[in-house]
A and B are shown apart, each in its own frame.
Chain A
Amino acid sequence: MNEPTAPPRPPFPLARWTLIALAVGGLAGAFAYVAGYLDPQRLTPARVVDQLQANGGVHPGYRRNHAKGVCVIGRFDSSGKAAPYSRAALFAAGARTPLVGRFALPGGNPYAPDGGVPIRSLALRLTQADGQQWRTGMNNMPVFPVATPQAFYEQLRATAPDPATGKPDPARQKAFFEAHPETAAFRAWIKDQKPSASYATDAYYGLNAFYFVGADGARHAVRWQVEPDNGAAAAPLGAQDVNTLAAELERRLNQAPLRWRLWATLAAPGDPVDDATQSWPAQRPRIDAGTVILERAQDQDSGECRDINYDPLVLPDGIVASADPLLPARSAAYAESYRRRTYEEARAGGRPPREAAR
C-alpha cells in the first residue's frame, strides 16, 4: 500500500529532459508555423486586409472593401428553368426566395465619390425556406483584373497611394499591368467605361465560376449574371459627383420595384472554370433562371445588410464552388474584414462608429 516517498533518480536525466523539451517545443513550433508566425512571406487574410486598409484608410465599423454602399430588400422569383441543372430549392419552379442585397462602390473609403471609378457591385444573400443560403458578390465588369490572390495583393500594392502625393504612382501601376498581361480584358473594359449614374441600369457579373449540381448529382460549370430591366441608363456621372447613387436608387424604388433577369451561362468542355480574368465565348447557352426584384432601399448604417458578410462560399445544396483560387481568398479576407468591423462596432456599442464628417 505504501508508495515510495521519492522516486529514484532516473539514468540519463539530461537526455530525458531534452526529450521533453523537444516534444513540447516541437509541438509549439509546428503550431507557430501553421499559424503563420514563422512564415512572414505567406499571404494571409490579415495581410490582404492590411493592404486594403493601407489603400482605403481605416474607417472603423466599415467594410475593408466596398465600404460605401446601400442596402436593398427584395426577392428572387424563380422561372424553374435552372431547376434541371441545380437542385437548389431557390431554383424550383415558382419558388420565391427573400433576399437582402447591397449595392456598393469598390475600395475601403466610405466617403468615396460616386463618380470616381466606373466599378459598381451588387451582393445578394438569398435565404431559402429550409434555412440554406446563397450569398453572391457580383461586379459590373464581366471579368476580374487578376486570377490569383497573390496577383490581387500585388495589384493593391501597386495602386496604393504614394505617401508624398496621396495618389497612386503611375509608374508602379504601369509596371504592374505590364507584368500582368492577364489584366488585358479588364483594362479594355474599364478604358471606355463611364461611371453610370444609377445602380439600377448596370448588369452585374458573378465573375467566378461555380458548379450547379442537379438532382441526379450531375455537375455543370456555370457563371451567373443579372441584367437590368429598369429603363434607359442615366447620363454618366462626373468624377466629382459625390453622393447621388443611393438617393437615385431610392427615388426609383419609390416609383416601382427594380428588376434584373438572372442568367446562368453554361460552360462548354474546355472553358476555363478557375480563371476569373477570362470570359467564356458569347455563344455559350444561357439559362433564364428567374428575376431578382428589389423593393426597397435601406441606409447601410442601419439596414439589414450592414452585418452580413457576403462570403461567396456560403452556398445552398445544389451549388458548389469551382477551383477558382480567388474564391477561398475572398472567403478568408471577407471573414477577416468582418472580424475587424464587428469588433469595432461592438466597441462603439453595437452601432457603426461615426467618424467626423470630412
Chain B
Amino acid sequence: MNRETATTMFWWPARVLHWLMAAMILAMLFVGAGLVASVSERHAWLLALHKPLGIAILLLAVLRLALRLRHRPPPLPRDLAPAVRLAAHASHWLLYALMLAMPLIGWAMLSAGGYPVELGAGVRLPPIAPFDPTWFAALRWLHRALAYALFALVLAHLGAALYHGLIRRDGVLRSMLWRQRSAPD
C-alpha cells in the first residue's frame, strides 16, 4: 500500500505546499490587480499585504523547489501524447520560474525606484538593485507582464487539472489531492 502510494501520489509535503501556495499566489495576483486599479484605502492595505506575501511566496518556492528536486513526482500517464507531455513539463517549470522571479522582480523594482522595501512590523529588506529610473521602468513593466503570464498559466494549469480529473479520470488530479482511493476507474 505504501509503496503504491509513493509512486502514484505527490509526496505529502509537496501536496501541502502546492495547495498553500495555490491560495497565496492566486491571492497575490488578485491583490496586485486590485491595488493598481484602486485609489481607495484598499490601495494602501493591499500594498501593505502584497510585499510580505510576495516574500513568503519566494521563501516557500525555494523550499518547494528543493523538495521537488529530492522527490520525483509521480509519472504522467503513459498514453499522453508527446506534445501534451512536453507542455505539462514546460508549464510546471515555468510556474516554478515565475514563483521565484515575481517576488525578486518586485523587490528589485522597489529598490530601483528608491523605495524602502518595508514588510511591516519594522522589517525592512535591503535594496537588491541600484536606484535607477531605467531599471525601475523595465522591472515595473516586467512585473506586470509576467503577472499576466503567471495568471494565464494558472488558468491553463487549472483547466488541465480539471480535464485530467473530470474527463480523462486518469489519476493525475488525484495525485495532488488528499486521499488516494482505489485504482482509477
Contacts and interface: CB of A to CB of B under 8 A. Distances in A.
A28 B155 contact: yes
Given A313-B44, A327-B44, A45 B36 contact: yes
Interface string A10-27: 100100110110011001
Contacts of B140: 339, 342-343
Contacts of A31: 29-30, 33, 151
Given A27-B155, A132-B116, A34 B137 contact: no
Interface string A22-59: 01100110110011100000111110100000000000
B128 interface: no
B34 A48 contact: no
Contact of B37 (A17, A44, A317): A44
A81 B146 CA distance: 48
- Chain B contact residues: over half helix, strand or loop, or mixed? helix
A190 interface: no
A159 interface: no
A198 interface: no
Contacts of B47: 331
Interface string A124-136: 0000000111000
Contacts of B116: 131-133, 314
B134 A328 contact: no
Given A314-B115, A342-B137, A16 B155 contact: no
B72 interface: no
Interface stretch (B55-63, B90-98, B157-165, B174-182): B157-165
B33 A307 contact: no
Contact of A343 (B137, B155, B158, B169): B137
A267 B92 CA distance: 56
B45 to A, nearest CB: 8
Contacts of B71: none
B34 A35 contact: yes
Contacts of A10: 166-167, 169
Contacts of B44: 313, 321, 327-328, 331
Interface size class of B (residues with CB under 8 A): 35 or more
Interface in A47-92: 48
Contacts, number: 143
Given A31-B33, A332-B39, A346-B133, A20 B79 contact: no
B16 interface: no
Task: Indicate the member of B37, B40, B131 with the most A CB atoms within 10 Å.
Answer: B37
B76 to A, nearest CB: 10
Contact of A345 (B26, B78, B133, B168): B133
Interface in A305-341: 306-309, 311, 313-314, 317, 321, 323, 325, 327-329, 331-333, 335-336, 338-339
Interface of B: 26, 29-30, 33-44, 47, 77-79, 113-116, 122, 124, 131-134, 136-138, 140-141, 151, 154-155, 158-159, 162-163, 166-170, 185
23 contacts: A3-B79, A7-B167, A8-B169, A10-B167, A17-B167, A20-B162, A24-B158, A34-B34, A36-B37, A46-B37, A307-B113, A307-B131, A309-B115, A313-B44, A325-B41, A329-B39, A332-B38, A338-B113, A339-B137, A343-B140, A346-B136, A346-B137, A346-B138
Interface of A: 3-8, 10, 13, 16-17, 19-20, 23-24, 27-28, 30-31, 34-36, 42-46, 48, 131-133, 149, 306-309, 311, 313-314, 317, 321, 323, 325, 327-329, 331-333, 335-336, 338-339, 342-343, 345-347, 350
